[in-house]
C-alpha cells in the first residue's frame, strides 16, 4: 500500500475520533445544563414544600384551638363575623 493511502487513513481516522469526541463533549455539556436545571427546580420545589408544610402546621394549630378552646372560638367569631353579646354594641368605622 502506498504511504499516501496510510496517511489518508490516518487523517480520516483522526478526524473521525475528533468528531466523536466533539459529539460526546456536546452531549456532556447539554446533559450538565439539564442537570443544573433539574437541581434548581428541586431546590425551588423543596422551598415551596417547606412553606406549605409551615402553613399546614399553622392551620392545624388553629383547627385544634377551634376544637378545644371556646374563648378562642368566641374571639374568632367576634372578629371575623362582627358578632356581639346582647348587651354589647358593635361600632363599625369605614376606612
Grid cell for residue 81: 363575623
Give the per-residue pLDDT at 95.
Answer: 72
Reported as a pLDDT band with limits 50, 70 and 90, residue 15 is: very high
Residue-level pLDDT at 88 = 79
Identify the band that residue 34 occupies on the pLDDT scale cut at 50, 70 and 90.
very high
Q: Is pLDDT above 90 for 83?
A: no
Residue 90 near residue 82, CB atoms below 8 Å? yes
pTM more than 0.95 = no
Confidence of residue 14 (pLDDT cuts 50, 70, 90): very high
Amino acid at each position: 500500500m502506498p504511504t499516501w493511502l496510510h496517511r489518508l487513513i490516518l487523517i480520516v481516522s483522526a478526524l473521525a475520533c475528533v468528531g466523536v469526541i466533539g459529539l460526546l463533549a456536546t452531549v456532556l455539556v447539554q446533559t450538565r445544563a439539564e442537570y443544573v436545571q433539574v437541581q434548581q427546580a428541586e431546590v425551588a420545589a423543596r422551598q415551596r414544600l417547606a412553606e406549605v408544610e409551615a402553613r399546614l402546621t399553622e392551620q392545624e394549630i388553629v383547627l385544634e384551638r377551634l376544637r378545644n378552646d371556646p374563648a378562642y372560638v368566641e374571639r374568632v367569631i367576634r372578629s371575623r363575623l362582627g358578632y356581639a353579646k346582647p348587651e354589647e354594641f358593635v361600632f363599625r368605622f369605614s376606612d
